[in-house]
Amino acid sequence: MSTGTRSITVGIDGSPTSLDAADWAAREARRRRLPLRLLHAGTGPAVSGRVPDVDVPAGRTRTALDRAAIRLSYAHPALDIIARRTGTPAVQALLAAAADTETLVVGSRGSTGFAGFEVGSVALAVAARAERPVVVVRAGELPEDERTPVRDGAPPGSAPYLPVVLGLDVDRPADDLIRYAFDTAGFRSAPLHVVHVWTRSEPYAREVRAGRTPRPDDTAERRDGEGRALAGALRPWRRRFPGTTVREHVVQGHPGPHLLRASARAGLLVVGREAGTGPGRVVRSLIRHAPCAVAVVPHG
């Protein structure tokens, strides 16, 4: 039975990384009060069922999908979980699922060293082509990583959520991108930090590259203008989400380093991808190296 786009779907392949992604997806489905769909693609006959229908009859070996579904049903007993296995190759199956879900969640593949993580071809291919938001969850992601550190022995689940960080270009503000970030922050009762990065004018940079002393730059005036543009882009969304605390950050430089720095203090980083194009170099770098989960939202 189809649940339409009102669901969260996660790709399961039996790896620890995909189970971390499934845990993240279950928490997100619970926050949004949506059913969770587990999708295992690859070899084997296609099957579908709701938990506890995936309980294993005597004599049959549990599959990765069975184990994930049962584990999540115990951890989230009130969550509506739908498990499905298909023989379609992973990227093709996940892209098809993305067209029929609110958010598609995939795990990163590779190490969890301090420098970040390696992202596999499946995660990047899906993030580059999906019709709906794709969240790439880093290996080793834990529920407490989304929240502020607890003190005095308080339970981790009682701590406030860390901010949702949105990277926004005021020249292409994109309603779908902004809506996703505000929605996500609202469901978490988390603050939303919006980061807009601008660069100096090309004439100024050309003078610097030539070794000449450039004329006094209009940096302050430009910064003020960029700040006004950001405030204008967010004004209708602030009215629509009056309960969300919004902080605006206008910084000069290159987007990658600034967004990576902001993600170190975030529960989720939200970035955009123009529909019909793959993620650019900055987005690919953030997917690989951000210390939190990254949501890639198609728009335009």
Tokens, residue 192? 């939303």
Question: How do residues 247-276 score in pLDDT, each as one tens digit?
Answer: 999 999 999 999 999 999 999 999 999 877
Taking residues 112-133, report their average pLDDT.
Answer: 71
How confident is the model over 147-204, as pLDDT tens digits? 998 877 777 778 999 999 999 999 887 999 999 999 999 999 999 999 999 986 545 5
- Give the separation between CA 246 and CA 248, rounded to whole angstroms: 7
| Structural contact between residues 88 and 41, judged by C-beta atoms closer than 8 angstroms | yes
How many CB atoms are closer than 10 A to CB 112? 16
> Measured between alpha carbons, how far is 281 from 270 in angstroms, rounded to an integer?
15
Q: Which residue has the higher pLDDT, 146 or 220?
A: 146
Strand pairing partners for 93? none
Q: Which two tokens stand for residue 228?
A: 């006004």
SS3 197: strand
Which run of H or of E encompasses 86?
A: strand 81-86
Query: CB under 8 Å to 256, separation ≥6 — which residues?
Result: 281, 282, 285, 286
Q: What angle do CA 266, 115, 27 make, to 5 degrees?
A: 40
